[in-house]
Structure 1
Amino acid sequence: MKNEKRFVKYDKELQIEAYWFQGILQKFPQHFHEYYVLGFVEKSGLRHMCYDNVDYYITTGDVLLFNPCVPHNCEPMDNDLLDLRCLNIKPEIMSQFMQELTGSEEVPLFASPVLRGDELSGSLLRELHQMIMQEREDLAKEETFYFLLEQLVAAGISKTSIEAKAPPVRRVTEHLLGHYTEKVTLEELAAVACMNKYSLLRLFTKTEGITPYRYLETIRIGKAKELLAQDLEPAEVALMTGFSDQSHFSKFFKEVIGLTPGQYRNIFKVKQ
């Protein structure tokens, strides 16, 4: 979109990424993140989202709570533009804050990805996001983060149990994590799972909510983010993470993250 705006900041104190998309009409394909995403829909028409194989409809004022490694996609149901604020929080950072908050190192697994009608959670999330975007360095920012997590837990929308993966699926996901820089074939994955190719494809997609190929591509994007944060060139990162070429890498990166690799890389550069 011609008038769309995309902003991103990295807060070194809280170790949180903040995204702010304004006026976008983007369709986000099936993918997952290896971190939590807390989002606030500032403005939007109706959008359809499939999260963990369940359909949801989101609109203005909704709070979004995505657990790590849960597949989801999102697309507009009309031509209304989307304004979205997001905070990305690594599991180890969430664990650190939750330990102080609850006394337990267990991190929450949010029971629902959409929190509707909770004005306090939305207000706190929006306030924290604004502080990060403004590069505030005062006490209020950290306080607001604690209050936000406290509110989410108090709202009764967290759980701490997770189902174990079926052994064949676990072996395949571990194989993909260990070989994401290489060319991986379905025949190879079927051998790892000790299943035929079709049975593996059905079981994996049903269990993970995402195909093995899309799972692999999403792993590559996560690893690419780590390398871009180290100020490596996008072309170099594409090769290091197993993408066939930079064009494919850049296209898929923006589809999933909402930013180009160069835009993401720039947020970690030290200001002179």
Structure 2
Amino acid sequence: MKEKIFTKIFTDENLPYLELRYSNNTKHYKKHLHDTLSIGINIKGETIYTNKDKIYNFDIGMLALVNPNEIHSCNPIDKTPNLYYMLYLDENWCYGIQKTICEDIKEFIPFDKDFLDDKNIYEEFKSLCETMFTNITYEEKEEDLILFFTKLFKTYINDFHKTPSNEDDLKFSQVQKYIQKNYKENISLNHLANKFDLNPFYIIRLFKNKLNMTPHAYLINEKINKAKEYLKKGNSLVDTALECGFADQSHFHRNFLKIVATTPNQYKLNFVQD
């Protein structure tokens, strides 16, 4: 039976800096370029990957790294459809993430390699792409994107630390207290940026430097801590999720399990006093 050809594209108005393509096809593309950072992997099949004047046999387990405005192509070797993910990211967003790692950079730093042959990074990127097509909240997707690309970029940027200024300490304290007070709300990074008139990537850097977590991760952590208090008092799972501002029971259950390593119901029935 002939394999069905398909293309699925993920976009989200809350994540305007990315487009993700999931596809299988036998089409051959001419050499072309994008103004985005493009990263791709094969899930099934083998392709010929060209980047500028170099040609590579591109197989499962590898990541193609295409810097903005680099001429490239990636085409299947034979007529069998290859299954792949291709993620396109706005250069300015990437620069913002890089700047949270190295504050003094003045522009986007491109990769100095055309591909990575790293099974761990491959699996993490594959998992990230799969996550984009799920029904979890856009804040969770953004969290995963920030964490993955922070880790990836750190390999290519000299990571050095400066002593935080008094202004950094003050701004961090203000944002932290706001999240603590308004933990019931689903506070987005853009909301914090507008509220405090700060660059969103500056806020990410503050939280990474102080707590080694993103603002969204800190918000979820606050929600879970409050949820534990409600459950210890005997509140129902439904009421607890509502009181802590979770989008739904699935959102509550998933994040509680991640942080507490047990389900909300198990915790309610068997928790150990701190």
> What TM-score comes out, normalization by structure 2 length?
0.51
| Residue-by-residue CA offset, 1:217-259 (whole Å, 9 max, x unaligned) | xxxxxxxxxxxxxxxxxxxxxxxxxxxxxxxxxxxxxxxxxxx
Per the TM alignment, residue 2 of structure 1 is displaced from its structure 2 partner at its CA by 6.3
**Structure 1 counterpart of 2:34:** 33
Q: CA deviation at 1:64?
A: 1.3
The verdict on how the C-alpha distance between 1:138 and 1:49 changes in structure 2, with shifts beyond 3 A counting, is closer
Residue 74 of structure 2 aligns with which residue?
74
> Share of identical aligned residues, percent?
17
Secondary structure of 1:150's partner? helix
Aligned residues: 155
Match of 1:134 in 2: 134
**How far does residue 150 in structure 1 lie from its aligned partner after superposition?**
2.7
Report the residue type matching 2:91 in the other structure.
P
Please tell me the residue identity of whatever aligns with 2:78. Answer: D
Contact 2:62–2:119 (CA under 8 A) maintained in structure 1: no
The 1:13/1:127 distance shift into structure 2, 3 A limit, reads farther
1:36 & 1:3 partners in 2: Cα distance?
29
Whichever residue aligns with residue 76 of structure 1, its letter is P
1:40 and 1:122 in contact (8 A); partners too? yes
Displaced runs of 4 or more, over 3 A = none
Structure 1 gaps of 5+ residues are: 160-272
Letter in structure 2 aligned against 1:42:
I
Q: Which has the higher contact order (CA 8 A, sep 6+)?
A: 1
CA displacement, residues 25-76 of structure 1 (integer Å, 9 cap, x when unaligned): 121111101111111211112x222211111110112111110111112332
SS of structure 1 residue aligned to 2:15: coil
* 2:8 equivalent in structure 1: 7
Residue identity in the other structure for 1:20: Y
One-letter amino acid matched to 1:55 = I
Distance 1:138 1:9, change over 3 A: closer
Deviation at 1:147, TM superposition (A): 2.4
What is the alpha-carbon distance in structure 2 between the residues aligned to residue 60 and residue 81 of structure 1? Answer: 14
Question: Structure 1 counterpart of 2:66, which letter?
Answer: F
Which residue number corresponds to residue 109 of structure 2?
Answer: 108
CA distance in 2 between partners of 1:36 and 1:73 (Å): 14
Max Rg structure: 2
How many angstroms apart in 1 are the aligned matches of 2:95 and 2:135? 24
TM alignment of 1:1-272, pairs within 5 A: 3-15=4-16, 16-22=18-24, 24-45=25-46, 47-103=47-103, 104-116=105-117, 118-137=118-137, 139-156=139-156
Change (3 A) 1:2 1:126: closer
Tell me what 2:224 maps to.
none
1:40/1:76 CA distance change after superposition, 3 Å: closer
Contact (CA 8 Å) 1:38, 1:87: kept in 2 or not? yes
Aligned to 1:255: none
TM-score by length of 1: 0.52
- State the AA in 1 paired with 2:93: I
* RMSD, matched Cα: 2.3
Q: In structure 2, what is the Cα distance between the partners aligned to 1:33 and 1:39?
A: 13
Task: Kindly indicate whether the alpha-carbon contact (under 8 Å) linking 1:98 and 1:105 is maintained by their aligned counterparts in 2.
Answer: no
